[in-house]
């Protein structure tokens, strides 16, 4: 009902009379009034004028279901939104939903995370209402070794979404970071529950610095606002991502990972660059030559030997410093 009234308000330019709403929806005037109160509690600004009725003046800048789903147009992703004002981690909540049998496409969004996670047990700084922090539940027909490529696919979709939304084209640092001007804009994390040869479910999580201030970011971080010089609509960017992701994800059944890996290569910040990494305590250096079809990074070491890196970190060597 609340959703219907909101839609009604959105579609009307001027005022909507309470009587009209009550008649159209077949509910009492009191029920209409109650809905308006609920919408206001969620952050919607609804003007009410005697003898004129109600008018929607402003929508909240929050990752709530009614905002995320407005004009979304996806088939699966975002069709259920679990919103939290504050949560330890959207990853863990989405994992819990997966354990309880929730369907594919559910997303968990939060205005802030108290224990936002990055890769390899690191933390992700999640200041309130500044960034996009969300996780999606996936139930793909993949083995756990294939699932590494979900991170790559998600990175491509996120880079595409940022580009079509802002005109900026973030590059992808293998395997899961988005960079703008060499600084970290976003990170992507994939958690699995799997039998070793079959994924039960996966949770893909995104942390993206949208309107985060530089003083709130780690030294290597960057936000869209910093680069664009103006605040961005987080909800609009989330919708853009959900559409881009769903398109690539649903295409897996037809074309597999190949098209996403191809696009990953085009958006790569890593290929062709000198890289450093550690292997069993031993520092190695070389040039990143390409992305293997299984998602591994091919590195030609200075010794001439070519190795494939499947996990862990790499450092991109820069003039005089590392990123």
Please tell me the distance from the alpha carbon of residue 202 to that of residue 263, in angstroms, as a whole number. Answer: 22
Q: How far is the CB of 71 from a second copy (least distance, A)?
A: 32
Per-residue CA distances from 145 to 150, 253, 295, 296 (Å): 10, 17, 10, 11
Among residues 135, 190, 211, 268, which is the contact residue for a second copy, using CB under 8 A?
190
Binding of a second copy at residue 150 (CB under 8 A)? yes
Site string for a second copy, 73-102 (x = CB under 8 A): ----------------------x---x---
Please tell me the distance from the alpha carbon of residue 290 to that of residue 268, in angstroms, as a whole number. Answer: 9
Among residues 50, 51, 71, 120, which is the contact residue for a second copy, using CB under 8 A?
120
Nearest to 124 by CA among 175, 184, 174, 173: 184
Q: Which of residues 222-251 bind a second copy (CB under 8 A)?
A: none
Among residues 90, 126, 151, 211, which is the contact residue for a second copy, using CB under 8 A?
151
Binding of a second copy at residue 196 (CB under 8 A)? yes
Span of 37-45, 138-146, 162-170, 314-322 interacting with a second copy by CB under 8 A: 138-146
Tokens encoding 11: 């579609």
Q: Which of residues 28-67 bind a second copy (CB under 8 A)?
A: none
135, 94 in Cβ contact below 8 A?
Answer: yes
Side-chain half-sphere of 129: how many Cα atoms within 13 Å? Answer: 6
Span of 8-16, 163-171, 183-191, 284-292 interacting with a second copy by CB under 8 A: 183-191
Binding of a second copy at residue 194 (CB under 8 A)? yes
Q: What number of residues does the chain have?
A: 323
Binding of a second copy at residue 292 (CB under 8 A)? no
161, 184 in Cβ contact below 8 A?
Answer: no
Cβ within 8 Å of residue 103, ≥6 positions away: 80, 137, 139
Contact residues: a second copy, CB under 8 A: 95, 99, 119-120, 143-145, 147-148, 150-151, 175, 189-198, 200, 310-312
């Amino acid at each position: 009902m609340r959703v219907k009234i909101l839609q009604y308000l959105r579609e009307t330019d001027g005022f909507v009379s309470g009587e009209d709403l009550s008649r159209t929806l077949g509910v009492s005037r009191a029920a209409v009034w109650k809905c308006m109160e609920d919408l206001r509690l969620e952050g919607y600004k609804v003007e009410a004028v005697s003898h004129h009725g109600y008018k929607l003046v402003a929508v909240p800048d929050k990752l709530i279901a009614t905002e995320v789903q407005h004009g979304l147009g996806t088939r699966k992703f975002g069709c259920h939104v679990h919103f939290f004002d504050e949560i330890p981690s959207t990853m863990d909540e989405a994992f819990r939903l997966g354990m309880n049998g929730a369907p594919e496409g559910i997303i968990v969004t939060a205005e802030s995370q108290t224990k936002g996670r990055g890769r390899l047990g690191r933390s992700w700084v999640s200041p309130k209402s500044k960034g996009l922090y969300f996780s999606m539940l996936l139930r793909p027909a993949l083995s756990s070794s294939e699932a590494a490529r979900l991170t790559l696919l998600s990175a491509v979709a996120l880079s595409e979404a940022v580009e079509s939304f802002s005109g900026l084209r973030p590059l992808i640092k293998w395997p899961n970071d988005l960079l703008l001007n060499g600084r970290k804009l976003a990170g992507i994390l994939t958690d699995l529950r799997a039998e070793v040869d079959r994924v039960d479910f996966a949770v893909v999580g995104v942390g993206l610095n949208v309107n985060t201030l530089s003083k709130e970011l780690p030294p290597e971080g960057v936000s869209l606002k910093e680069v664009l010089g103006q605040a961005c609509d987080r909800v609009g960017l989330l919708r853009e991502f959900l559409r881009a992701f769903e398109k690539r994800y649903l295409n897996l059944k037809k074309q597999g990972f190949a098209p996403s890996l191809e696009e990953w290569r085009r958006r790569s910040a890593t290929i062709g660059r000198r890289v450093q990494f550690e292997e069993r305590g031993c520092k190695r250096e070389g040039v990143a030559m390409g992305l293997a079809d299984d998602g591994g990074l091919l590195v030609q070491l200075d010794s001439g030997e070519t190795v494939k890196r499947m996990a862990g970190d790499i450092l991109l060597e820069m003039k005089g410093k590392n990123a």
